[in-house]
A and B are shown apart, each in its own frame.
Chain A
Amino acid sequence: MEKATFRIWRGDANEAQFVDYETEVSEGMVVLDAVHRIQAEQANDLAVRWNCKAGKCGSCSAEVNGNPKLMCMARLNDLPLDQPVTVEPMRAFPLIKDLVTDVSWNFKVKEKMKPFTPRPPDAEDGTWRMEQEDIDHIQEFRKCIECFLCQDVCHVLREHDLHDEFIGPRFFVYAASLEMHPIDTENRLQELKNQDGIGYCNITKCCTKVCPEHITITDNAIIPLKERVVDEFYDPIRRLFKVFTG
């Protein structure tokens, strides 16, 4: 059987380095399979998150040869195996151990956002009527598996570390799914402009490129939200209108 070398980040917040492991590889394998094989045979205490192994749960996010990916969807035959495959944890979050990072910040951000608030039901049985074409674009946002790869690549978080002032692409997608939801009645524009920091996004589309669910994060979520914020707070006619209406 063919062998390949995996250069895996080992250690904790205090001390960590790459360690090389050689293991057998076979047809159809993904990076997560190799990591599991190494874990079972050579490094029992290797820390890695995973669940579904089918690209549906968003647990096994990592950086493979420097590219943010789900390890369960990273096919080995797409990688040059004549050189070591590097596997590192997401770099935008604090390391816990090996490939596992502390992503708890994301959960805290979501908790602070205004929840879904529906209008009163349309029908007596407590249900609503919505046209499929009116929800197609929200369903795109709701495909998100919360792998946080978009957060990992976002410069505002990764390089500028503005976690206190900026919620990141994942939560702009979440905000968009609520703001554009046909039966939601809440208004989140004030928060988007101020504490959520939507203005920091300079539309480099790095998030869109790494999304394993192929959500067009920048074009379909962030830009329309930016436009709404601009309309609400910077549109001269609306501002004038506000002066008169208070």
Chain B
Amino acid sequence: MASYETFEHDVLIIGAGGAGLRAAIEAAADGLKVGLVCKSLLGKAHTVMAEGGVAAALANVDERDSWRVHFADTMRGGQYLSNARMAELHAKESPNRVRELEAWGALFDRTQDGSILQRNFGGHQYPRLAHVGDRTGLEMIRALQDHGIHQGIDVHMENTIVSLLKTGDRVSGAFGYEREKGRFKIFSAKSVVLATGGVGKAYKITSNSWEYTGDGHSLAYHAGAELIDMEFVQFHPTGMVWPPSVRGILVTEGVRGEGGILTNSEGNRFMFDDIPELYVNQTADNPEEGWIYTQGDRDARRPPELLTRDHVARCIVREVKEGRGSPHGGVFLDIAWIKEKLPNAPEHIRRKLPSMYHQFKELADIDITQEPMEVGPTTHYIMGGIRVDADTQMTCVPGLFAAGECAAGLHGANRLGGNSLSDLLVFGKRAGEYAAQFATENGHVSLEESEIEEIAQHVLKPFDNSEEGDNPYEIQAQLQDKMQELVGIARSQESLAQALEEVQILREKADNVHTIGNREYNSGWHTALDLDCLLTVSESIALAALERKASIGAHSRDDFPEKEEPGTGKYNTIVHKTQENTMAIRREPVPELTEEYQEIIDEMG
């Protein structure tokens, strides 16, 4: 092992978005030696893209809000497949996690009395999202970053982890490479936290960047951890659709929170046409009520545009499919209409939604204060992920923790907007805390040299493969096309079975991809190595989607339109790797809600 640079940390954190940074800060608080590895430069992770806000029942704008309402909203939004304990911890702890950011320099927008302002968002009963215009994620990651750099954390920027290392049952470190020279790095650690984000790059139309290749999911799976509810991929209802090069870029739900409406080519506000049973009591039945809700009328109910994301996305797909779409295959999202209601509407829109204004003006030549946007669903988030203990965030592999988007449990079948930023703060902190505790209670374990040599050879294989091998970008593009087509918003037995076959074919091709050039900052090589992760998560998504013969939350089966299969109760799907190195799936019933939880849910209607 003398040939590889080795770093020894008490706690190693993989991923430096909100969850990873928050975990690192927490783990470093007790003076432990913490390493933080990230694929990009620090502060560029996907958290930076989050726009609308962070959900926390601060009750600054509406005093009727409380952790109990937030808990009930999260459970309802997740179609009661969420882990109730996680939903409880999340709702209880997110207010303090948000306040703490302010102590680290974050500056949220203010109420009249000078406290943190909160806005309306889909599925939240009261204005609950603390925000900074529509650049909340930037504010959060910068506050965490600027605080984090003074906590003695060793940051390894532009490094990618390709495998976790285990000694016996326990995780003992990780193997990675640095981008600049392509050199290998060995990280020895007493505990490891995965905070790698999502899987959006498995799809063609996505709001996610190149980094979102499901690394954490794949690393955990190969290390023996379980993946849960992988079929639940959130297709955010409003991504840009035109021009083609920006297709998929996110248009914040905040547009609808500020009064934006969805219309079809006939000018009809189609969201009023289909309001799910679970939400009838909470949804406005006329446009005026919806408008005054967005303007803070406490007695009004929310407009149907602010129904949960899974539902809004399906309605948009229906409109397009039935021929009422916009010219480029989406629908219209109109915020400019509020000039009928507000005298200074253009200025108001620019102040509330500055980056949306900027984004459309510069990328699509559209002035959103004057004309409607064209929007359609885009792959945005995965509710499923690494199965963890609700309190500690530890997986079934001793010493291996996960937090943020790559972990699962909180969001069930559908995530509410704003609950991801709070998720990563609450559970990032918990993961850091318990990973530190694990590291304190358990010593270093020695690494196994033969395992490391084997990984090193595997990682260099794309250079050694025959020049006849495929171009890694080509394989990535083919996978994205297939996942989009076969495992997208509308799924069936046939499409999913075909997807699993395609994944196998592409896996063989991926094994033979050829990389040109040398090891220095070679994007082709990096893309080749990411393929394994993408294929693993794609297979798990398709397999879980095939297993769930129902349409619930973000998962829709054309052949099984009902919410539950007859005769089965609520269950979670669980994927794991068998001893024969194949992917297996099973169901586990969702534990019955305790009386206390059930009472809260009943009380909140």
List chain A residues, Cβ under 8 A from B138: 56, 142-143, 145
Asked whether, in the complex, the Cβ of A27 is within 8 Å of the Cβ of B244, the reply is yes
List chain A residues, Cβ under 8 A from B249: 53-54
The 8 Å CB contact of B471, one of A40, A54, A178, is A40
Tell me the smallest distance from the CB of B60 to a CB of chain A, in Å.
9
Sorting the interface of chain B by its residue count into under 10, 10 to 19, 20 to 34 or 35 or more gives 35 or more
List chain A residues, Cβ under 8 A from B520: 12, 47, 96-97
List chain B residues, Cβ under 8 A from A82: none
Listed stretches B44-52, B304-312, B533-541, B564-572; interface member: B44-52
Name A6-61 residues within 8 Å CB distance of B.
Answer: 12, 26-30, 33, 39-41, 44-59
List chain A residues, Cβ under 8 A from B146: 110, 115-116
> Does B585 belong to the interface (CB within 8 Å)?
no
Apart from the given pairs A52-B49, A97-B520, A181-B105, 17 other A-B contacts in the complex at a CB distance below 8 Å: A40-B477, A44-B473, A45-B516, A45-B517, A45-B524, A51-B46, A51-B210, A57-B209, A75-B362, A75-B363, A115-B146, A116-B147, A131-B110, A132-B110, A142-B132, A142-B138, A184-B105
List chain B residues, Cβ under 8 A from A50: 209-210
- Return the chain B residue nearest A27 by Cβ: B243
- Return the chain B residue nearest A174 by Cβ: B146
Task: Map CB proximity to A onto B265-299 as digits: 1 under 8 Å, 0 otherwise.
Answer: 00000000000000000000000000000000000
> Does B522 belong to the interface (CB within 8 Å)?
yes
Asked whether, in the complex, the Cβ of B150 is within 8 Å of the Cβ of A54, the reply is no
Using A27-B244, A47-B523, A54-B250 as known contacts, say yes or no to A138 and B107 having CB atoms under 8 A apart: yes
The 13 listed contacts between A and B (C-beta, < 8 Å) are: A33-B245, A40-B471, A45-B524, A49-B40, A50-B209, A55-B359, A59-B44, A111-B149, A127-B99, A127-B116, A129-B114, A129-B115, A139-B132
List chain B residues, Cβ under 8 A from A100: 521
Name B126-152 residues within 8 Å CB distance of A.
Answer: 132-133, 135, 138-139, 142, 146-147, 149-150
List chain B residues, Cβ under 8 A from A130: 107, 110, 114
Bound CA span A146–B245, Å = 24
Bound CA span A175–B46, Å = 25
Asked whether, in the complex, the Cβ of A28 is within 8 Å of the Cβ of B49, the reply is no
The 8 Å CB contact of A29, one of B210, B243, B477, B516, is B243
> Does A236 belong to the interface (CB within 8 Å)?
no
List chain A residues, Cβ under 8 A from B96: 126
List chain A residues, Cβ under 8 A from B43: 146
Bound CA span A97–B182, Å = 12
The 8 Å CB contact of A131, one of B114, B355, B515, is B114
> Does B525 belong to the interface (CB within 8 Å)?
yes
> Does B102 belong to the interface (CB within 8 Å)?
yes
Name A186-233 residues within 8 Å CB distance of B.
Answer: none
Which of A125, A139, A184 has the most chain B CB atoms inside 10 A of its CB?
Answer: A139
> Does A234 belong to the interface (CB within 8 Å)?
no
List chain A residues, Cβ under 8 A from B42: 107
Tell me the smallest distance from the CB of A117 to a CB of chain B, in Å.
9
Asked whether, in the complex, the Cβ of B245 is within 8 Å of the Cβ of A28, the reply is yes
Residues of A within 8 A of B (CB): 12, 26-30, 33, 39-41, 44-59, 73, 75, 96-98, 100, 103-104, 107, 110-111, 115-116, 118, 121, 125-132, 135, 138-139, 142-143, 145-146, 178, 181, 184
> Does B258 belong to the interface (CB within 8 Å)?
no
Tell me the smallest distance from the CB of A89 to a CB of chain B, in Å.
11
Nearest first, the 5 A-B pairs at minimum CB distance are: A28-B243, A44-B524, A45-B517, A129-B114, A116-B105
Bound CA span A130–B132, Å = 14
- Return the chain A residue nearest B472 by Cβ: A44
> Does B2 belong to the interface (CB within 8 Å)?
no
Residues of B within 8 A of A (CB): 40-46, 48-49, 96, 99-100, 102-105, 107, 109-110, 113-117, 132-133, 135, 138-139, 142, 146-147, 149-150, 157, 180, 209-211, 242-246, 249-250, 355, 358-359, 362-364, 471-474, 477, 515-518, 520-525, 527
Tell me the smallest distance from the CB of B162 to a CB of chain A, in Å.
18
The 8 Å CB contact of A39, one of B115, B209, B523, is B523
The 8 Å CB contact of B364, one of A28, A52, A58, is A28
List chain A residues, Cβ under 8 A from B113: 129
Tell me the smallest distance from the CB of A73 to a CB of chain B, in Å.
6
List chain B residues, Cβ under 8 A from A96: 180, 520-521
Asked whether, in the complex, the Cβ of B135 is within 8 Å of the Cβ of A56, the reply is yes
Bound CA span A116–B100, Å = 13
List chain B residues, Cβ under 8 A from A125: 99
Bound CA span A223–B40, Å = 33
- Return the chain B residue nearest A128 by Cβ: B102
- Return the chain A residue nearest B474 by Cβ: A40
List chain B residues, Cβ under 8 A from A44: 471-473, 515-517, 522-524, 527
Asked whether, in the complex, the Cβ of B49 is within 8 Å of the Cβ of A54, the reply is yes
Asked whether, in the complex, the Cβ of A53 is within 8 Å of the Cβ of B521, the reply is no
List chain A residues, Cβ under 8 A from B245: 26, 28-30, 33
List chain B residues, Cβ under 8 A from A45: 515-518, 522-525
List chain B residues, Cβ under 8 A from A184: 105
Bound CA span A20–B501, Å = 40
Asked whether, in the complex, the Cβ of A57 is within 8 Å of the Cβ of B49, the reply is yes
Asked whether, in the complex, the Cβ of B364 is within 8 Å of the Cβ of A142, the reply is no
Bound CA span A58–B43, Å = 9
Bound CA span A40–B474, Å = 7
Tell me the smallest distance from the CB of A167 to a CB of chain B, in Å.
15
Bound CA span A129–B358, Å = 30
List chain B residues, Cβ under 8 A from A97: 180, 520-521
List chain B residues, Cβ under 8 A from A178: 105
Bound CA span A231–B40, Å = 41
Asked whether, in the complex, the Cβ of B473 is within 8 Å of the Cβ of A39, the reply is yes
Asked whether, in the complex, the Cβ of B523 is within 8 Å of the Cβ of A46, the reply is yes
